[in-house]
Structure 1
Amino acid sequence: MKINDAIPQKGSRKRGRRVGRGIAAGQGASCGFGMRGQKSRSGTGTKPGFEGGQMPLYRRVPKLKHFTVINPKVYTVINVKRLADLPAGTEVNLESLMDCGIVTSNDGPLKMLGDGELSVALTVKAAAFTASARQKIEAAGGSCEVVTA
């Protein structure tokens, strides 16, 4: 077989559209581009993303840093140093903290942060713990339990 023997399959190639060859051809005069307007002129037309002079989308969206989080997770945060005054063996959750006045408002599920020191053993039930908060609570002899909000 030679290179000139390699021809396409019968029916696989379709002939090109002959435009501007009269009204009988079906694509005469304006060649299917209509009468007037920007898209009927010769040349490439408009660049991708062009919106007719309106400020295009790629210029309207923010570019720097990051997009704001649409549904952010909001927690009621508290440091372990605020738990130091509680008696040993106390079960700590959001409701018990509100009852004793350590937390004044329910801003969402409870999250424990690790600032400060803790010397009493407590059972803490919260939605989230930082690594340092978990380590300090367990070092004091307490336990950490993650509860779903």
Structure 2
Amino acid sequence: MTKLAIHTLKPSKGSRHTAKKRGRGNASGHGNYSGHGGKGQTARSGGSRGLKLKGFKRLLQSAPKLRGFTSIATRPTEVSLSDLEKNFAANEVVNVKTLLEKNMIGHSAKMAKVLSTGKLTKKLTVEGLKITARAKEAIEKAGGEVK
């Protein structure tokens, strides 16, 4: 096997295509009409462009208007009370680390928010997470605490 060096590097097979050489005689396979077919508008230079644009205008008009501002701030991953009920035992601590360990949030998630969807009967301690008012109320009602 050859040693990897700058002069031995080659493009991977199939990644580079050679351009079809047209108008170089019939033996080349692209002679006579050079891939343009017979006579008419499309055989002429610049003849294949304007026809496409008419239909393209309607497509442009029907496309949604992308306006305004999109925030680059990361949004918290949502976790419901029913998810906590299913995945955590009583007296456990719920934070970003434990949610990651139980695969309840993605590995790239920086923050999670607890929503009040579902019921919670276990006593849990929630630390360092965003939380809705109703979810906080439900956790405290079950005997847990929010830090």
TM-score normalised over the length of structure 2:
0.48
Higher helix fraction (1 or 2): 2
TM-score normalised over the length of structure 1:
0.48
